[in-house]
Structure 1
Amino acid sequence: MNYGSLDIERLLLMALQNLGLAAMVGALLSAWWLRGPKSDWQVRASAKLALVFRMSAIVALLSSTAGFWVHCALMSETTLLDAWPAVRSMLVKTQFGHIWAIGASLLLCAVVLSFKPTSGAGIPCHPLMWLLIGGVALAKSNAGHPVDAGILSLPVWVDWVHLLAISSWVGMVLMAAYIVSPGMLRARSTELSGGARYVQAMSDAATVALIALFLTGAFNGWRGVSAPENILGSSYGVVLVFKLALVLVAAALGGHNRFFEMPALLASLKGSSSAIQTRQLKRFATVLHIESWVLIGVIAIATVLVSSPLPGTE
């Protein structure tokens, strides 16, 4: 694979869009787990999650738009400044352009709705946001390799589940590491019963997401490489193996938190001293921070994988 400057720019924009989508999913999940009667730290965390959702939606929309423009410039072999005719032609005449426009429109709706005033500090129009994100993910799945089998075909739906699973896992880890855990560390020890529910819900959801990720990833990966010799004999296969390695590292970190750190953390949140709670929270959050950076690497590698030619088409 030989990448020019525009190719690299397009990949960076795609990765940024994927990261923005993951943050949106993670913010929605975290806001749901913090619902109900809230202590002061939960109110503050919910307000931050709403802000993260709004900013992530804007980033996802802008990076998607810029990435589409760069893609059109690459396809027409023109400069960015001269790409408008190609952009217009892509939007009007191609299936790819139509699908991108649908996804971008849904993202725009999410951005607009995220500014809707609410009586509380949470994310507005919560159920509708899930429908919009599901639509955006489906548009992305119909714009990649799986659409070769047809729009809304089985490979597209499998890829859709895969995209939502990785977005959920990455998003919930990011929100837990950088929004919720710091809020819990600043809370009074008597306010952390909601934190225990959050940690348990996040761990259960991460397990489900990981199972879905491996099942759909196995389907997508085998469909992509198509033959054993292509696993290490093609650029697509090599990138796929690298992605799998990072996923396994992240899964090991998540497993460590679930089976070694979380039991002690949950016990401390239900009635230990403030010092013990702080120590257990810091241990749990440290692993989350490491896991978050590994998962950002997964997002980056997955972006390269989606843009890599399938074996036999290089």
Structure 2
Amino acid sequence: MSIDGLWIGQVAMAALMNVAFGFAVGSALLGAWLAPDARQSVSPARPGWIRAHRSMLAAAIVLVLADFGWLLYQSASMSGVALPAAFSVIPTVLTQTHVGFGWSVAFGGALVLLGTALSNGTGMLRNALLWLAVLAIAGGKASLGHAADAGVASAALGMQTLHVLATSVWGGLAVAAGLAVLPALGASTARGMLIRTATQLSNVSLVAVALVLLSGVFNAVRGSGGSLEAIQASTWGHVLTLKFVLVALALVLGGLNRFSALPRLRRTASTMDAHTFVNVLYLEALVMIGVFVVAAALSHSVPAFAA
């Protein structure tokens, strides 16, 4: 692994893909939770639902653009040509490499996700397409990393897909809720909606965290070959350690909200406690963005067992 302009570009595009995908997933979930009460034009849930819908649309657009940018950098890296010349290599990468196949699946899912974001409908078909697109993106993104080396029908690829999906749910909910949706529910008339949405967010995040930790431990053991020394002596191991520290910090912030701020908010429904919950969630969102960025660097580093 050589850290040059192409590697930095790949990691930057991959990080943008991670953040955009998480933002879209989190916004989709929040929008679905708020939709039943947001159909009335004067509902206190409507501002949050509008934020969720607009956030999902913006994130889907960024995801499509970042996907194409990553493919361009990857084509240049695989072929050894300069970035402008990589355009001519893209058809070969798409048709003759497993990277091209995985990217096509993820990009196709991103286009479907964008199509559902452009739709204002809430029907069963639209929702089914949306979550099928999310699964396709998660599977395609997983196959762009080291897990694909074990084969398409492998436990490694399955666990990486689960890890991508669970991380996007946990981090995406934190980012979308903390940066966009919950601040729109700050009015006292929306306090009940805020409490209900915060409770749903906390419960779903708890399940997602459990899946993240399970799949993360599997990936760490596989990537290190079961050797603690390999983690300590490799760049991959150092990046993994940084990711672990950020995840631990996010867990602490999430725990503060779940076990302290949220119960207090349920009891008092006060403005101060509502602000406390949203502010802690905002900090968790910033940390999760860091996790997404470090995860991109990790996926583009040589695993410890190979290094």
TM over 0.5: yes
The Cα shift of 1:129 comes to 0.5
C-alpha change, 1:16 and 1:140, in structure 2 (3 Å) is same
CA distance in 2, matches of 1:104, 1:301: 22
Question: Unaligned regions of 5+ residues in structure 2, if any?
Answer: none
Q: Give the partner amino acid of 2:284.
A: E
CA shift for structure 1 position 106: 1.8
Shift of 1:124: 8.8
| Residue in 2 that maps onto 1:176 | 177
Q: Conserved in 2, the CA contact under 8 Å of 1:162 and 1:217?
A: yes
**Structure-2 change in CA distance of 1:181 and 1:106 (3 Å):** closer
Give the alignment's TM-score, normalised by structure 2.
Answer: 0.93
Q: Are the equivalent residues in 1 in contact too, given 2:185–2:193 (CA < 8 A)?
A: no
Structure 2 counterpart of 1:66, which letter?
G
Report the Cα distance in structure 2 between the residues aligned to 1:255 and 1:280, rounded to whole angstroms.
Answer: 15
Are the aligned partners of 1:114 and 1:124 in contact in 2 as well (CA < 8 Å)? no
1:112 aligns with 2:120: no
Equivalences for residues 246-265 of structure 1 within 5 A: 246-265=246-265
Tell me how far apart the structure 1 counterparts of residues 124 and 280 of structure 2 sit (CA, whole Å).
27
Task: Give me the TM-score of the superposition, normalised by structure 1.
Answer: 0.91
- Asked if 2 retains the 8 angstrom alpha-carbon contact of 1:33 and 1:197, the reply is no
Counterparts of 1:102 and 1:159, CA distance in 2: 15
Q: Alpha-carbon deviation of 1:41?
A: 2.8
Deviation at 1:36, TM superposition (A): 2.1
Residue pair 1:41, 1:187 contacting (<8 A) in 2 also: no
> Match of 2:89?
86
Deviation at 1:99?
Answer: 1.9
In the alignment, what sits opposite 1:303?
296
- SS at the partner of 1:83? helix
User: Counterpart of 1:148 in structure 2: which amino acid?
Assistant: D
Whole-angstrom CA distance in 2 between matches of 1:117 and 1:295: 29
Other-structure match for 1:73: 76
Superposed, 1:1-314 pairs within 5 Å as: 2-38=2-38, 40-118=43-121, 125-188=126-189, 191-226=190-225, 227-269=227-269, 277-314=270-307
Secondary structure, counterpart of 1:192 in structure 2: helix
Question: How many angstroms apart in 2 are the aligned matches of 1:203 and 1:133?
Answer: 21
What displacement does 1:27 show? 0.7
Task: Report the CA distance between 1:183 and its aligned residue.
Answer: 1.8
Deviations 1:29-48 (A, max 9, x none): 11122232346231121122
2:37 and 2:46 in contact (8 A); partners too: no
Given that 2:94 and 2:104 are in contact with CA atoms closer than 8 Å, whether structure 1 keeps it comes out as: yes
Question: Cα distance 1:170–1:124, how it changes in 2: closer, same or farther (>3 A)?
Answer: farther
Residues 54-102 of structure 1: CA distance to partner in whole angstroms, max 9, x if unpaired? 1111111110111111111112121121112321211121121122112
Identity of aligned residues (%): 28
Secondary structure in 2 aligned to 1:151?
coil
Which one-letter code corresponds to 2:209 in the other structure? L
In the TM superposition, residue 304 of structure 1 has moved relative to its aligned partner by 0.6
Asked if the contact 1:50/1:123 (under 8 Å) is kept, the reply is no
Deviation at 1:155, TM superposition (A): 1.0
Structure 1 residue 154 displacement after superposition: 0.9
Read off the aligned partner of 1:229 and give its amino acid letter.
E
Corresponding letter in the other structure for 1:173: A
Contact 1:28 1:126 in 2 (8 A): no
Secondary structure at the aligned position of 1:309 is classed as coil
Q: How many residue pairs are counted as aligned between the two chains?
A: 303
Q: 1:203 to 1:113 in 2, by over 3 A?
A: closer
The letter for the 2-side match of 1:299 is F
In the TM superposition, structure 1's runs of 4+ consecutive aligned residues that sit over 6 Å from their partners are none
Gap change, CA 1:178 and 1:41, over 3 Å in 2: farther
- Greater displacement, 140-149 / 62-71: 140-149
Q: Which residue type is aligned with residue 213 of structure 1?
A: V
